[in-house]
Amino acid sequence: MSVHSARVILASASPRRRELLRLVGIEHEVRPADIDESLLPGETPAAHAERLARAKAHAVAEHEPGAVVIAADTIVVVDGEVLGKPGDETAARAMLRRLSGRTHTVLTAIAVARESQTESAVESVDVTFRPLNDEEIGAYIATGEPMDKAGAYGIQGYGATIVERVNGDYFSVMGLGLRRLVELLERVGAPYRFEPRGTLTG
């Protein structure tokens, strides 16, 4: 059985993750997982992201026997501190000022659950912002894009213009590392295969 012949469920409401699965031809349903995402005492950022991804996968898989469930969690880390989604524009401004002209780390954990098996991994990517002035930060916030993103930016949108360098997997920064996903699908017995999209004409 390949992932293309399986019933695939994405345990996330993220439009970016949906877009990435469609990009590589993985048909899927969406069943967002509702879990407590609080950081546990003494938990490292990588362990936190991986625990949440696995918890999301389990929360959906236990109600969807036979399905391949894909879950992910993306966090931004700077100075050892996890930056979540900004609660308001003031928080977004503070985050963007903090990231301006600096390198931070994006951690994206992916978990794939099938039957009683769950495989997971974490990708770490270093992202460097160009220096931003207050006017630019205010204009970016006014687009609305930062408000539902960890670290108050989205690399696949307007935020692409403030990123100077990405050292690692770009798709992980978007929220779903495709190379790592393929590896995890193989491990749970639902390997990815290249599928023809149809005959091109013209």
Per-domain boundaries in the chain: 3-187
To the nearest 5 percent, what fractions of the chain are helix, strand and coil? 40, 25, 40
Structure token pair of residue 24: 């590589």
pLDDT in tens, 97-107: 999 999 999 99
What amino acid is encoded at 2 in this protein? S
The predicted pLDDT at position 198 comes to: 55
**Alpha helices (H) along 11-133:** 15-23, 45-61, 89-99
Q: What is the pLDDT of residues 113-135, one digit of tens each?
A: 999 999 999 999 999 999 999 99
pTM: 0.93
Phi, psi of 20 (to 5 degrees): -70, -40
Among 165, 147, 196, 177, which residue's Cα sits nearest to residue 16?
A: 177
Choosing from 73, 79, 126, 148, which is the catalytic residue? 73
Mean pLDDT along residues 178-195: 96
CB burial of 132-157 (b: ≥16 within 10 Å; e: otherwise) equals beeeebeebbeeebbeebbbbbbbbb
Per-residue pLDDT band at 197 (split at 50, 70, 90):
low
Active site residue 73: yes
d(CA 173, CA 147): 16
Q: Which CATH number fits domain 3-187: 3.40.50.920, 3.40.50.410, 3.30.1700.10, 3.90.950.10?
A: 3.90.950.10
Would strands 103-114 and 81-83 be described as parallel, antiparallel, or unpaired?
A: unpaired
199 has pLDDT over 50: no
Q: What is the mean pLDDT of the chain?
A: 95
**pLDDT at 196 (0 to 100):** 77
| Tens of pLDDT, residues 58-89 | 999 999 999 999 999 999 999 999 998 999 99
